[in-house]
């Protein structure tokens, strides 16, 4: 043996099917409302994460945005490291051209009303929340197999819509 390698050590959970969806919703909301702090791994209140990860087998880049990020930085992160990245991986020149020419330059328009008190702030996201990553452990809601990052809390529900939540 070379002594090189990696280990994953996880708590054993006695997993079962879904339990209380109201409790699940409250727990996810609590996670999303947790402040970005040094203790939470986000001392600069930025979007992104300390390491890149994967969503399924797909690489997911998570570079940090500038400190005290808001709506503008979220739009840039989402544009470049979520949608733009996925389109690059897909390698479809038609979709990439449509994105680059017509959609990405206008993406900020979807967020124009989110300023001042409505400014988007980083929320801790599971990042791959769908029915296949939800269960219960000892009768309490449990989520697992995350693709964690700090993002817009509403981004959490995109995968649920895409891959199924029910």
Give the sign of the dihedral formed by CA 40, CA 56, CA 59, CA 102.
negative
Strand pairing category for 140-143 and 149-151: unpaired
For the segment 69-83, the average pLDDT, to the nearest whole number, is 96
Q: Which residues are catalytic?
A: 128
Quick one: residue 31, left, alpha or beta (phi over 0 = left, psi -120 to 50 = alpha)?
alpha
Which tens digit of pLDDT belongs to each residue from 13-39? 888 888 888 999 999 999 999 999 999
pLDDT at 162 over 80: no
- Per-residue pLDDT averaged across 131-149, rounded? 91
pLDDT at residue 5 is higher than 80: no
Token pair of 92 as six digits: 């479809």
- Mean pLDDT, the chain, whole residue set: 91
Per-residue model confidence (pLDDT) at position 157: 85
0.85 cut: is pTM over it?
yes
């Amino acid at each position: 043996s070379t002594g090189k390698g990696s280990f994953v050590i996880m708590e054993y959970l006695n997993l079962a099917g879904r339990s209380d969806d109201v409790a699940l919703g409250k727990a996810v909301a609590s996670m999303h409302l947790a402040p970005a702090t040094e203790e939470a791994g986000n001392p600069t209140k930025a979007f992104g994460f300390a390491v890149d990860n994967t969503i399924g087998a797909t690489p997911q880049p998570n570079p940090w945005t500038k400190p005290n990020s808001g709506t503008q930085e979220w739009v840039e992160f989402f544009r470049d490291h979520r949608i733009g990245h996925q389109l690059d991986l897909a390698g479809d020149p038609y979709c990439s051209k449509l994105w680059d020419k017509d959609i990405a330059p206008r993406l900020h328009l979807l967020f124009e009303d989110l300023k001042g008190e409505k400014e988007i702030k980083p929320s801790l996201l599971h990042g791959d929340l769908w029915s296949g990553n939800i269960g219960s452990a000892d009768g309490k809601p449990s989520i697992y197999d995350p693709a964690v990052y700090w993002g817009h809390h509403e981004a959490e529900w995109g995968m649920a819509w895409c891959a199924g939540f029910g």
